[in-house]
Amino acid sequence: MSQSNTIDFWFTVGSTYTYLTASRLHQVEAATGLRFRWRPFNAREIMQEMNNIPFATKPIKLAYMWRDIERRASKYGLPIKVPIPYPLKNFDLASRVAVLGEIEGWCADYVRISYRRWFVEGKEVGTEPNLSESLSEVGQDKNRVLQAANTERVGRAYDDNTSEARRLNIFGAPTFVVRGECFWGDDRLEDAIAWHARATLKPI
């Protein structure tokens, strides 16, 4: 259940724009008093169902995306070093580790620091050496995590998250959900926060 000061942050490990969000949410929490609940789900699966292929077959749009992310990172004061390896080779493992983190309580820190290694040091999430380095930084044993991440329990939790996202009509990552209202994209975070504060359309 969402608490009154909580916004759900739905994301997919592997989504590029999620770097911007994952890297600044802790600052947003400090500035606003809000809490974000990190919900990893499989946006790729939902997008495939919808035949929603925003970039892979569209090189001009893909080039724009990287430039846009670079500019937005600069705007937020976030480091970034392009080109960035993409897409993730170990997409499923990367996601499952985040789901385990959600269950065990270290998801936000792990995702934030593993994304930074990906976007600044060029080390892919879900792949060595990012896995060992990032898990170590959040105090988790890599061998235990890899074993646990591949259990049926974690797979079911991941599927359940994706099903819940589907029910909420989420079609991409990141998405913020405030009382059932979806805000898609890092660039809608401020709209989601404003919605949380008033929860209505402003009268004209």
> Residue 38's beta-bridge partner residues?
9
Instruction: Please select the residue that binds a copy of itself; options are 26, 71, 153, 179, rule is CB under 8 A.
Output: 71
Instruction: Please select the residue that binds a copy of itself; options are 33, 77, 83, 139, rule is CB under 8 A.
Output: 77
Which range touches a copy of itself (CB under 8 A), out of 6-14, 22-30, 140-148, 193-201? 193-201
204 part of the interface to a copy of itself, by CB under 8 A: yes
202 part of the interface to a copy of itself, by CB under 8 A: yes
Residues 95-125 as b/e (b if ≥16 CB within 10 A, e otherwise) read: bbbbbbbbeeebbbbbbbbbbbbbbbeebbb
Are residues 43 and 169 in contact, defined by beta-carbon separation less than 8 angstroms?
Answer: no
Are residues 82 and 66 in contact, defined by beta-carbon separation less than 8 angstroms?
Answer: yes
Positions in 121-180 near a copy of itself (CB under 8 A):
169, 171
The CB-of-193 to a copy of itself minimum distance in angstroms stands at 12
Q: Is 4 exposed, middle or buried (0-12, 13-18, 19+ CB in 10 A)?
A: exposed
Radius of gyration of the chain (CA): 16
**Which segments of 131-189 are extended strands (E)?**
175-178, 181-184
Which range touches a copy of itself (CB under 8 A), out of 45-53, 100-108, 109-117, 138-146? 45-53
Where do contacts with a copy of itself occur on this chain (CB under 8 A)? 50-52, 54, 57-58, 60-61, 63-64, 67-68, 70-72, 74-75, 77-79, 169, 171, 181-184, 187-188, 191, 194-195, 201-202, 204
